[in-house]
């Protein structure tokens, strides 16, 4: 099947990582993770609860981010998404600054509870649409949220996967590193090596291609999911799915 959009591959791959969960929460500025959560909910026959900050139709929180943190601390969120200006090979996330902290090359809005959620939510999926050595680095300049902790630290949460616009990584918690799980259509393993600033493991045998969502999933993505995500991200829905206002 060649009639697909790159965003749909990401949506399908993320949705596959949410199967069997009870409650998925999605933060701000996350149209692709939000669409993936909605796809996973549709395929769960209503068993999955999805809370998307900024939505009126798909948000069970009545007190915004504060309630998100409370629910996460109670163990009632199974998956969440984090991004960062930098992500390194130990799954550390930088949301603060690049360069020397006193004289940074760039400064960003800040961590906004990312460290707390990284510790509390069992399945944190890292998400970055710019897959380059500038963003996927050997070592972050500032740790907003650590990927791993010492063995004596109580930590029910942590990284599960990293998905980018080029590939999907799985987190090897024993080795505390990433393993390349699949490469998106149109990209290659050689390209992933060239564009990644950290080292990563490879699977045994040939690296698979990230599957394109099947016809039934594409119908859901382009139908009900596109309509629902347009409520929160109208520009994204118009550009990708031609839903809502003119692109």
Tokens 């749909």 found at: 8
Yes or no: say if 95 and 111 are a contact pair by the CB < 8 Å rule: yes
Token digits for 90? Answer: 């130990």
pLDDT at 247: 43
Token digits for 158? Answer: 């942590």
Length of the chain: 247
Residue 188: domain span:
6-241
Q: What is the pLDDT along the chain (247 residues), one digit of tens a residue?
A: 458 999 999 999 999 999 999 999 999 899 999 999 999 999 999 899 999 998 989 988 887 778 899 999 999 999 999 999 999 999 999 999 999 999 999 999 888 889 999 999 999 999 999 999 999 999 999 999 999 999 999 999 999 999 999 999 999 999 999 999 999 999 999 999 999 999 999 999 999 999 999 999 999 999 999 999 999 999 999 999 998 765 4
pLDDT at 245: 61
Whether residue 177 lies inside any domain: the answer is yes
Q: 3-state DSSP: the chain helix, strand, coil percent, rounded to 5?
A: 30, 20, 50
Yes or no: say if 205 and 23 are a contact pair by the CB < 8 Å rule: no
Three-state DSSP class for residue 30: coil
CATH number at residue 37: 3.40.1080.10
pLDDT at 10: 98
Whether residue 247 lies inside any domain: the answer is no
Whether residue 1 lies inside any domain: the answer is no
pLDDT at 152: 95
Tokens 């939510």 found at: 121
State which H helix or E strand residue 199 sits in. none
pLDDT at 63: 78
Whether residue 223 lies inside any domain: the answer is yes
Whether residue 202 lies inside any domain: the answer is yes
Whether residue 246 lies inside any domain: the answer is no
Whether residue 184 lies inside any domain: the answer is yes
The total of structural domains in the chain comes to: 1
Whether residue 65 lies inside any domain: the answer is yes
pLDDT at 1: 42
In the chain, alpha helices (H): 6-16, 31-43, 64-73, 114-120, 189-195, 215-220, 226-230, 234-241
């Amino acid at each position: 099947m060649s009639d697909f959009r790159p965003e749909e591959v990401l949506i399908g791959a993320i949705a596959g990582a949410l199967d069997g969960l009870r409650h998925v929460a999605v933060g701000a500025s996350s149209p692709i993770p939000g669409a993936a959560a909605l796809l996973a909910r549709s395929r769960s026959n209503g068993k999955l609860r999805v809370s998307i900050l900024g939505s009126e139709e798909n948000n069970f929180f009545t007190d915004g981010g504060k309630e998100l943190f409370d629910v996460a601390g109670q163990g009632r969120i199974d998956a969440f998404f984090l991004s960062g200006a930098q992500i390194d090979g130990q799954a550390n996330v930088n949301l603060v600054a690049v360069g020397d902290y006193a004289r940074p090359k760039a400064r960003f809005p800040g961590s906004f509870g990312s460290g707390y959620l990284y510790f509390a939510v069992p399945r944190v999926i890292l998400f970055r649409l710019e897959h380059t050595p500038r963003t996927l680095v050997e070592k972050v300049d500032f740790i907003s949220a650590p990927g791993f902790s010492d063995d004596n630290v109580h930590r029910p949460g942590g990284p599960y996967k990293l998905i980018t616009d080029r590939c999907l990584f799985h987190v090897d918690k024993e080795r505390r590193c990433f393993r390349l799980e699949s490469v998106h259509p149109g990209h290659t393993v050689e390209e992933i090596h060239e564009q990644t600033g950290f080292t990563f493991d490879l699977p045994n045998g040939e690296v698979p291609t990230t599957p394109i969502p099947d016809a039934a999933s594409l119908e859901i993505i382009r139908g009900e999911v596109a309509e629902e995500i347009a409520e929160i991200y109208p520009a994204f829905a118009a550009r990708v799915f031609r839903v809502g206002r003119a692109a």
